[in-house]
Amino acid sequence: MGRPSPPPLSYLPLGEHPLRRVPQLFAGLALYGFSLAVMIRASLGVSPWSVLYEGVTRYTSLSFGTVNAAFGAAVLLLWIPLRQRPRFGTVANIVVLSFSSDLGLALIPAHLDLPARVGLLVGGVLLNGLAGAVYIGARLGPGPRDGLMTGAAAGTGRSIRLIRTLIEITVLTIGWLLGGTVGVGTVLYATAVGPVTQAFLPRFAYRSIAVEGPGGR
């Protein structure tokens, strides 16, 4: 038997089945932002972009969520030469991740013992992968960082894997130089979040009944 075809993930207009897709988008983004806070409180290393945001917070009075939103908006400026168009999900990504990550940091205590931190790290990576599948599966537009990756890949003709690697190495290096937390969690995130997201995507990817057949839910 051949491999099952991957779920469709291209953008679909907001007007198609919004009562299912919009709540799914917001739930996924809220969980995604919360998962970032979980991994930060683990203090064992975070995702490359979170390393950058955490590093910036050390030199400003801005919260982690505010820095996240500020960089999200700044990245959108890089979409202009790439001819990328922000969608509803793109704007929602900036706003919801900012609030949900700050809420998570307010709710989860810092300076926990090692077993609790290991549990937070593993749980945070799993939650991040699940949340990514949920919001991506709503098909309401990529987040700023995802759009930068896909736009740069399309504009240069390079693979998404190469472009993503170059972007994440760059932001990780800058964040580390600014004092962001790099550790075993960073490696775990880099190696595990992709497979976790991929495993959940078939369950949450919305299929357009009109275009893609009766597999839509």
Span 9-67, pLDDT tens digits: 889 999 999 999 999 999 999 999 999 999 999 999 999 999 999 999 999 999 999 99
pLDDT value at 96 more than 80: yes
Q: Per-residue pLDDT tens for 127-185? A: 999 999 999 999 999 999 988 988 888 888 888 778 888 999 999 999 999 999 999 99
pLDDT at 3: 58
pLDDT at 157: 87
User: CA 64 to CA 99: how far, in whole Å?
Assistant: 10
pLDDT at 215: 46
User: CA 204 to CA 130: how far, in whole Å?
Assistant: 9
- Mean of per-residue pLDDT scores for the chain: 91
pLDDT value at 214 more than 60: no
CA angle 196, 198, 204 (to 5 degrees): 100
pLDDT at 159: 84
Other Cβ atoms less than 10 A from the Cβ of 19: the count is 7
pLDDT at 32: 97
pLDDT at 89: 96
pTM of the model: 0.90
Q: What is the 3-state secondary structure (H, E, C) of the chain?
A: CCCCCCCCCCCCCCCCCHHHHHHHHHHHHHHHHHHHHHHHHHCCCCCHHHHHHHHHHCCCCCCHHHHHHHHHHHHHHHHHHHCCCCCHHHHHHHHHHHHHHHHHHHHCCCCCCHHHHHHHHHHHHHHHHHHHHHHHHCCCCCCHHHHHHHHHHHHHCCCHHHHHHHHHHHHHHHHHHCCCCCCHHHHHHHHHHHHHHHHHHHHHCCCCHHHHCCCCC
pLDDT value at 2 more than 70: no
User: CA 197 to CA 136: how far, in whole Å?
Assistant: 9
Q: What is the pLDDT confidence band of residue 217, given thresholds at 50, 70 and 90? A: very low
Q: CA 86 → CA 59, 90, 106, 112, 135, distances in Å?
A: 30, 6, 30, 39, 15
Closest to 108 (Cα-Cα) out of 122, 92, 124: 124
pLDDT value at 1 more than 90: no
The tokens for 127 are 């939650």
Q: Per-residue pLDDT tens for 115-129? A: 999 999 999 999 999
